[in-house]
Structure formats: C-alpha cells, structure tokens
Amino acid sequence: MPVFKDGHQLSLLSGSSAYFSALAQDCETARHEVRLETYIFDFTASGQDVANSLIRAALRGVKVHLLMDGAGTEYVPPEWQARFDAAGVQWRVYNPLGRLGLLIPSRWRRLHRKLCVIDGSTAQAVGFCGGINILDDFYDPNHGALPQPRFDFAVRVQGALVGDILDATRSLWLRQNAYLQLRERKLQAAMQTWASARETHTRISLAAGHSAENHAPSALSAHFARAALLLRDNVRHRQRIERAYLKAISQAQHEIIIANAYFLPGGKLRKALLGAAKRGVKVKLLLQGRYEYFMQYHAARPVYEVLLSAGIEIHEYATSFLHAKVAVIDAHSAKAWATVGSSNLDPLSLLLAREANIVVLDGAFARDLRERLINAMTQDGKQVSAHEFANRPLLQRMLDRIAFGLMRLALSITGRRY
C-alpha cells in the first residue's frame, strides 16, 4: 500500500510547453541541486531550452545530475555532450543498448519514469512527476513535425513527497555510479557507493510499506492535497502501481476515466474494469488513435471487443499522439482518486520498466484532470462503435492478432506472467 502524506501544493501541467516553462523557471532559481530523470531527451526545438536551463544552473555552481535512458535517448549530440561537460553537468545513460540492442531481453528493462527534484533537501524543494519526456510537443523523432501538440501531463509538487522523489533519484544515480566504478575495476569504491544506494532504497521501501490508513488527514487537508509517490522496479516494487489501480477500480462507485497511450491490460486489470462496469460504474477509456508503433497500436485492439461488449466506452485520440498515462475515479465524490505518471497499462510498464506515478486524493485536482480528459474525448477523440469495430477489415484484424501473439511471445521469453 502507498503511504499518503498531507499538505501538498500540486499543479497539473498539460503538455511540454507548460512543463518545460515550470521546469526552467525552477531551474533558474535553484541554489543547490537539480536531479532530472527522463526516458527521452531530445535536443530539438524546446528540448534545447531545458538543456540550456540545466547548463545555466551548473555554471552557477548548482550540482546537476541528468540520467537518460539508453533506448529512449540513444544519441546525445556531440556538441551537447561538450556543453554539458564544460558546464559541469553530470550526465549518465541508463542501460545503453550496445551492438545487439533490444535483441537482448535484459535490455527491455528501461528507465521510463520522468522525475525531477530541485533543491530537494531545502524548504524551497520542488519536484516533478509525470509522463512528459524532454521532447517538444510539436515534434516526434520518428514522424517529424506534428500539426497538433502531443497530449500528456505532469505534476509540479511542493510538500513532503519531494523528499521521496529525492530519495528515488539519488538511489538510482548512486547505483549507476557503482556500475561505472565496477567497470573501471574500482571495487572498494563501488561497494561503498552501492551501500549508500541500498541505504537510500531501504528508506524508500520502509516508507512505502506503511498503510495509507495509518496517516489520518491533518488540518492542512482542507487546503492542501494528500498524495503518494508510487515507484515500480524489478526488486521490491514489482506490482505497486498495478495494485494501486486495482484497488481504486474495485472501490469505484460512479465513474472511471483512464487515458493511456499504450493500453494492453492484463487479466486482473481487465477483470477489474469489467467488474466495475457490471456494478453500474461508468467506465470511459481514452486511448491512442493515431498509428505510432506496430506492436503498441495493433496488440491493444483484440482487447477492445470484450470491453465494448460490457458497455465500456472507448474513445480514440487522433488529433495528435496521445502520450498520457493518467486516471480519475469518482472525481465528484468525497473519495476522489487520481493518478498522473509514466506508467502505461501494458506489460512493458507493469512488468519490466522503472516507472513513477503520483496518486492524489483531492477532489479539486481530480475534477481538473477529469475536465481536461472529457474535453479531449469530446473535442479531439472519436468514440469507437462496437458494431464498426466488430466489422473492421480482415487485414486489420489479422495485424491485430499477429501483434497480440508477438506480445505474448515476448512475455514468455521474459518468463513473466501477465
């Protein structure tokens, strides 16, 4: 169970424009430390603005730690490597692909979370968590310029959770340093660094082990949100995000809205959604409607039929790329629940990747997110008709089944059940 803490000021940020603006502003006022983790760091257009903010902070003497995933960020341009190094930005690439790339199953475990913490040990600490990469909203590395911005969210956090984000980013950075020291055959230094990482990781695990019910709302709760940070890794936090979804869905009474870029729920999640619909809960899904990747696009569609037959609404977002990983449950009730983060509801996110979500128990925050999702459905989405879907072209149905089969084969290779 996640531990919920009181007294948070939360700002819901939509798209890279809002996220980068807030991130750059906080970097400009940083005094001690900036830690940033991202799957993709692209140096096109506004991505350069973030890079320059990190450089300016480092030149002022702020300690800047940047960790980028080796699959999402395969290539850091030499000119930016030189600028980072000259300014003193400490940057690392997580799990580089190497020559064989993703042909090696162990390399499917990616750093997919998007976290940032600024001056995390001070009273002015600020944190960020969400699904937005350092990637301009109007640009895609595979598809070029986009006519409309990518649809995604992040949250700016002030309050106790910033300490949790600091511990998470610090622990992973220390682990990366330990691996580097081992490759350089600095065994003693690596052992010391690894011990520091384990100490930080243990602190995270102990905090996460407490029940939310042990934290009664404080007097601040009337004005500030309760929230929890959920981390997913392959050691102690294997199912934390999935379990949070399952519990929230099982307790839903009125409405469930999920927006997810790569949606392929396993048996437990499908059963939970079908059970909610059977109880009379309105379930609405906002999913990817624009072709991006073969596997993610086609493998999700065999699941549509059973969901549509249960009365679950599916809306496909096709104005631009949907990249959001958010959900809102019972936004207009006293038990409003919302989550914003990096975790898709698919096997890669829930079984393999490092992910991070924030769960918020706050009606105002939930209603804000709900309104944005409903607007996206009605203005930029198209509801999937059960009849039309059942009669989609034969070729499309074949591609859907092929992709679904390949996904199941990939899971069998990893040895994971989903």
Task: Please list the active-site residues.
Answer: 112, 114, 119, 323, 325, 330
State the Cα–Cα distance between residues 127 and 164, nearest whole angstrom.
9
State the Cα–Cα distance between residues 33 and 316, nearest whole angstrom.
40
CA torsion angle 140 109 294 147 (round to 10): -20
CB 2 within 8 A of CB 214: no
State the Cα–Cα distance between residues 29 and 24, nearest whole angstrom.
9
CB within 8 A of 180, min separation 6: which ones?
Answer: 92
Secondary structure letter of residue 99 according to DSSP: T
Residue whose token pair is 């970097």: 27
State the Cα–Cα distance between residues 218 and 30, nearest whole angstrom.
30
Which of helix, strand or coil describes residue 364? helix
Of residues 228, 218, 169, 234, the one with CA closest to residue 415:
234
State the Cα–Cα distance between residues 298 and 309, nearest whole angstrom.
19
State the Cα–Cα distance between residues 373 and 355, nearest whole angstrom.
22
